[in-house]
Amino acid sequence: MSIDIRKVTATIGAEVTGVDIGKPLDEETVAALREALNVHKALVFDATGLDDEGQQAFARHFGELTTAHPTVPAVEGAPNVLPVDSEGGRAANHWHTDVTFVLNPPQASTLRSLTIPPYGGETLIANAAAAYRNLPEPLRRLADGLWAEHTNDYDYAVPTEEIDEEQAARRAQFTSITYRTAHPVVRVHPLTGERGLFIGGFAQRIVGLSAAESRTILDLLQAYVVRPENILRHRWSPDQLVLFDNRITQHYAVDNYDGLPRRLHRVTVAGDVPVGIDGKESWSIEGDAAHYTTVAAE
């Protein structure tokens, strides 16, 4: 195969052609894709003919799979596949990195399009390494020494009177096991050595600071992550798969399609325990995720 990798933006994203991801890949091809992922952070593939089994087989080229989610049910008969379905109320229209509330969040995520609305429904993916590089030196020094507590049980800032029974049930399910984990605000990528801002929606508090102080600092740093220059805005087409590096990106599902059907399937690859610039590893405060993921070797 002749792999062609074409940048989508200057900062993040590339379209990959010349690879049939529905077939087993040789080591050389996997190595080339891993290098492309290291460089571009998010890769877009044609996934024509790919089903859940094929998506899982493709993701396994990069490591052992997690189960679908620590608390949310998988696709029936496919315990490693999470349905991302507008009709199931799973429009993740907030900036986040997948499952950072556990000790070892996924290293990579794959999203495959099944049903696409006629307009809207884009996925935004942000380069957290570029965000770190953009920080002024005083902010970079501050961020280097910070740790943040990530949790799945937090204030969604939605008035209770605006939540119906179905939404309340989904929220109760999502928080049925409470997880709290301390991660470095600046994470060192284990393969590239790059530093990236490891925050996002599940990062709720800076260790050692008050809630108000934490929110001020997190909002300040997050503003660098979501600068337009750091973002890939992926407009979905039918039968596409996007692979992104969950260790050094954030993403956001844009809820701009009038509630029309939109369904993706997500499969994630088990990750390592994050490490800060001083070599210190993250630590778990609450919640056992052993049923969700093992710790990756790398």
Distances from the Cα of 278 to the Cα of 113, 196, 233, 247, angstroms: 39, 14, 33, 17
Q: Are strands 195-197 and 249-253 parallel, antiparallel or unpaired?
A: unpaired
Give dist(CA 153, CA 161) in Å, integer: 19
Q: Residue 130: how many CA atoms within 13 Å on its side-chain side?
A: 23
Question: Whole-angstrom Cα distance, residue 224 to residue 11?
Answer: 13
CA distance 206 to 178: 18
User: Could you give the residue ranges of the DSSP H alpha helices within the chain?
Assistant: 27-40, 52-60, 128-134, 137-144, 165-174, 211-225
Distance in angstroms (rounded) separating the CA atoms of residues 2 and 21? 13
Residues belonging to the active site: 96, 98, 251, 266
Query: What is the spatial distance between Cα 268 and Cα 252, in angstroms, rounded to a whole number?
Result: 16
Q: Cα torsion at 226, 89, 237, 80 (round to 10°)? A: 90
Q: Do strands 42-46 and 14-17 pair parallel, antiparallel, or not at all (unpaired)?
A: parallel
DSSP class of residue 189 equals P
Tell me which residue has tokens 């030196």.
137
The whole-angstrom separation of Cα 144 and Cα 132 is: 10
